[in-house]
Amino acid sequence: MRKPLMRIPYTGPLPAPSIIPRNANTIPGAIAALSRFLTAPPPPTLLAPLPNGDPQSTVILSGAGISVASGLADYRGANGTYRQNKTYRPIYYHEFLANHEARKRYWARSFLGWTNLHKARPNPAHYAIKNLGHMGIIRSVVTQNVDSFHSIAHPDIPTLELHGYLRALTCVTCHNDLPREKFQESLARLNPAWAAFLEEAIASGALDTENPDERRAKGMRTNPDGDVDLPGAPYSTFRYPACPHCLEKPPIAGDGTQTRVEVDEEGAWESTSTAGILKPSVVMFGESIASRVKEAAEQAIDGSGKLLVLGTSLATYSAWRLARRARERGMPIGILNLGGVRGEEAFFQNLPIGQQGEASVRVEFGTDIILPGLVDQLRRTGYTHTKNDASDDGQHTNSRVFKDMLS
């Protein structure tokens, strides 16, 4: 197979951050700085938000680091996939579409990895965001994560999943969706030997430990996109089902020809098919984000007065461009992330002398430690975020628009 030319950005460690303000290098100092950041009035240089926006509110941009406390891996942290598994490369979108063998390998690994993701749950950081939303501080969330923890923990806060989600699959031909649990059952039925191995792995505890060394000792590596690397596994034997909609009624192709979907006697997709390929409902590496999702993300930035970056190095351009957009609008930016962030020095230029978090914050602690403490402090101080009636109506209207764009 021809090696993809697309480079995965920033697989090595990024430069260590400068903590802002300096006394945010302790947990109490970090919480105090973030409290001032979230409650400070908007700066006079802030561009006016959208008509239904709220300049006092905050939009969150989150990444894999926020889900580490839920038992999932991240990419670029100290124990991240790129740091611990130097040979790891995600499957490329064009490879997935073009290569039957590549899909076998992907679905085999995903079949093993789904159990750990499926049983994982949101952690205290996600529920702290829920509380900040109830206080009127957080207006919306844009996440790069595909684990759906945000929507589970705080379904009432508008949440945009920038890179999609693993809870469903999408047919690349007819674009209908299929729940992942139903698909997982089909994989188990088509691959009884793999299903038996998965049961053994669960019984052995190989999927219970989050220690990468322990997992490697048991022959497994778990990746943040929901799959397991099993060295030496016979991926070529793995089978996966066809899209049930295309199987029942093969659609007409874009060029007007009739597609065909062929399966074996047990329902596994056959390589003689010209349609019916299911893919995870995520944006794969090398795949473009839908324009409506890009627009919704930009509206989330433009409708708020501050940006709080949580658990992400902003290594992917789709996330970094949103932070850049916030900076160009004059929005104060706060970053809570373990490890460096792509180009972060540009977000903290020309800060007021002596500012203690009102203008910007850079903190290096775990989100599951800081965010619950932040909620507690805001409650102790009796903080409430009041809006006039017009602003409140606007927020609810914008929430509906935000959700409608993603439906």
Annotated binding residues, written as ranges, equal: 171, 174, 243, 246
The Cα–Cα gap between 153 and 156 comes to 9
Listed residue (132, 157, 126, 141) closest to 59, CA to CA: 141
Instruction: Tell me which of 126, 163, 245, 385 is the catalytic residue.
Output: 163
CB 63 within 8 A of CB 145: yes
CB 53 within 8 A of CB 300: no
Which conformational region is residue 47 in: left (phi greater than 0), alpha (psi within -120 to 50 degrees), or beta?
Answer: beta
Beta strands in 246-402 (DSSP E): 278-282, 304-310, 333-336, 360-363
The Cα–Cα gap between 310 and 297 comes to 16
Q: Do you find a cis peptide bond into 15, omega within 30 degrees of 0?
A: no
Whether residue 163 lies in the annotated active site: yes
As annotated, the binding site for Zn(2+) includes: 171, 174, 243, 246
Which residues make Cβ contacts (< 8 Å) with residue 140, sequence separation at least 6?
59, 60, 157, 158, 159, 160, 300, 303, 304, 399, 402
The Cα–Cα gap between 66 and 44 comes to 31
CA dihedral (359, 365, 367, 372) in degrees, to 10, reads: -80
Residue given tokens 């793999």 in the structure block: 194
The Cα–Cα gap between 299 and 129 comes to 20
Helix (H, G, I), strand (E, B) or coil at 277: coil
Let me know the angle formed at the C-alpha of 238 by 232 and 285, rounded to the nearest 5 degrees: 80
The Cα–Cα gap between 210 and 143 comes to 23
DSSP codes, 311-356: S----SHHHHHHHHHHHHTT--EEEE-SS--TTGGGGGTTPPTT-S
Q: Residue 150, CB half-sphere, CA atoms under 13 Å: how many?
A: 26
Listed residue (300, 297, 292) closest to 49, CA to CA: 300
| Active site members | 163
